[in-house]
Amino acid sequence: MMNDKFTYTDPATGYVITQYTKGDIRNAKLYFTTENFAKDDQSFFFRRYLSNLSDHSMADSDLYRCDVASGEYYKVLDSRYKGFAMSREGNYGVVSDASRIYRLDLDDEKLTEIGAFPEVEKGASKIGGKVTGHLTVSKSGLVVYSYWQLNKIFALVVLDPRTGKSEIVHRSDYHLGHTQVCPGDDNTIFYIHETGGDALQRTWMFDIAHGTTRPYYVEQEDEWITHEVWTADGESMLFMKYPHFIMKGSKDGHSFSAITETDKQFLHPGISRDQRFVCADRVVFTRENEQGYAPGVWLIDPVTGAQHELARTGYCKTGEDHPHPSFNRAGNLLYFSKPDVETGVAQVAMIDLTQVDLYRAKAEETKA
C-alpha cells in the first residue's frame, strides 16, 4: 500500500482540494467517458505511468485503485492490461491484454477471461489487432469497442461474455475511435472518425440490429465537434462545439441545444448521473500561458448555464495530463487529473462539491 494523500486550499478559488498522488511520475485518472469509481463510491481508479514520455501514447502504465477516505492505493493490474472501463450497472470492469478480454470483479479483484479479439484470415494465417481507446459495457453486459485490425481495416466489435463470441458488426477505412456503447440499450454504438483534430463529419451512430450507420451531429463548415460522452441513462450525449459551446443532443440526433457558452475555452465536458451538474476543464499547453485564460476545472448548471470555477491547475505536458474531470456515482465529488504547476505532469485530485454554493443551492432546490 502507498499513501500520498494531502489537502490544500486552492489559491484562486478558496476550495479545499484533496490530492492523492505526487512526484515526477505521471498519475492520470481514467478517461471521462467511463466510470472512474467502484459502485459504492468508496474507491476510484487511476493509471500510473512507467515513464513520462513526451509521446504519451507510447508510455506504458499500470492500473491502481485508491481508497477515497484513507488515500491508500495499490496496483491492481500491470501494463500488459489496457483499455480498462467499468460497467455502469455492476461492480466490475473489463480490460484487455494483447489478444484477450477479461472481466475484473471489483469485490474480490478476480480476473476472468471472457473472450478474445476477432481474428482475420490472411493467407494461411490469422491476424488480430488492437483496441482504439477503452472498452465499453452495454446495459446487459455486452463488451463493445473499436478495433484496428493488423490488415489496417478498422472495425466495431461486440463481445457477448455469455458465449465468449466476438462479432465484427461494422468495418471502415476510417480511423474509428472514442467508441461508446449506449448505456440505455444493447443496440446503439456511438463512434467517431478520428483525425487527431477537426473532422468533416466526426460523430456517428451505429444500429446493431439493422447494421446501419448514420451521422449523429451533422457538421457545418467551421464547426469543430469533439469530446463526446453519453448521459448515464443513454438518452442523450454531451459534446463540445469547440472551443466555446458545451452541447447536449438527443440519442436520435433530432434535437441539439447549447448548455453553456464561454468566450474562452472548455475542452472535456462531463455530466453527473442525475444530470443535475456538468463539469468541464480548460487547458493550457505551454508554461508561458499565451492562451489568455487560467487552466482548471469548472462546475456548470445545465439548466441556467451558470459557470463556477472550482480549481486551478498548471499547464499540460501531454494530452494524458489533461484534467478529464468526471463525477463520482453519487455526484458529490469531482475527480480530475491535476497538471503540476512547474512540470505539467498530472497527479490525481478531487474536490468535495458540498463546499460549493452552486452545488448546495441546487441540492436544496431538489429537496424542496
Span 24-50, pLDDT tens digits: 999 999 999 999 999 999 999 999 998
The pTM assigned to this predicted structure is 0.95
Residue 28: CB partners within 8 Å, gap ≥ 6? 46, 47, 49, 61, 320, 321, 324, 337, 346, 348
Q: Report residue 313 as a C-alpha cell.
A: 491547475
Greater model confidence, 72 or 364 = 72
- Residue 263's pLDDT is 95
Q: What are phi and psi of 355, to 5 degrees?
A: -75, -20
pLDDT at residue 11, rounded to an integer:
96
pLDDT band for 54, please (50, 70, 90 cuts): low
Query: pLDDT by residue (tens digit) across 114-154?
Result: 999 997 666 655 667 899 999 999 999 999 999 999 888 99
User: What is residue 122's predicted lDDT score, i.e. its pLDDT?
Assistant: 62
- State phi, psi for 354 to the nearest 5 degrees: -70, -10
Express each pLDDT in 313-358 by its tens digit.
Answer: 999 999 899 999 999 999 999 999 999 999 999 999 999 999 999 9
Q: Which fold has domain 2-367?
A: Methylamine Dehydrogenase; Chain H (2.130.10)
* Residue 312: strand pairing partners: 296
3 state DSSP class of 232: coil
If pLDDT is split at 50, 70 and 90, which confidence band does 201 have? very high
Residue 96: the pLDDT is: 97
Enter the DSSP assignment of 59. Answer: -
Determine the Cα–Cα distance for residues 231 and 137; give it in Å rounded to an integer. Answer: 14
The whole-chain average pLDDT of the chain stands at 94
Q: Is the pLDDT of residue 367 over 90?
A: no
Give the burial class of 136: count Cβ atoms within 10 A of its Cβ; 0-12 exposed, 13-18 middle, 19 or more buried: buried
